[in-house]
Amino acid sequence: MVQTSCGFAVPFMDFVEERTQLKEWAVKQGEERIHNYWKEKNVLSIDGVETNVLGKSID
């Protein structure tokens, strides 16, 4: 699903720093649990297209 907006009310934001939460969570899960999660949740996109996520690395 894709949503669009004219952007007239979107505030300007400055980059402060990269967020670390996702990478920290993934490291805690370990590679096997991440691959199991991908296999269960991310093999197909929401429109049914294969993602090839299992051929990717978590690095």
**pLDDT digit string, tens, across residues 10-59:** 788 899 999 999 999 999 999 999 989 989 999 999 899 999 888 866 55
Q: How many structural domains is the chain composed of?
A: 1
- Measured between alpha carbons, how far is 20 from 39 in angstroms, rounded to an integer? 23
Whether 14 is in a domain gets the answer no
Whether 6 is in a domain gets the answer no
Instruction: Give the residues across from 50 on adjacent strands.
Output: 44
Whether 4 is in a domain gets the answer no
- Measured between alpha carbons, how far is 27 from 23 in angstroms, rounded to an integer? 6
Whether 33 is in a domain gets the answer yes
Whether 30 is in a domain gets the answer yes
- Residues of the domain holding 29: 21-55
Q: What is the pTM of this model?
A: 0.56
SS3 for 50? strand
Whether 5 is in a domain gets the answer no
CA 54 to chain centre: 14
Report the pLDDT value the prediction gives residue 2, as an integer from 0 to 100: 65
Whether 51 is in a domain gets the answer yes
Q: Is 57 left (phi over 0), alpha (psi -120 to 50) or beta?
A: beta
Whether 47 is in a domain gets the answer yes
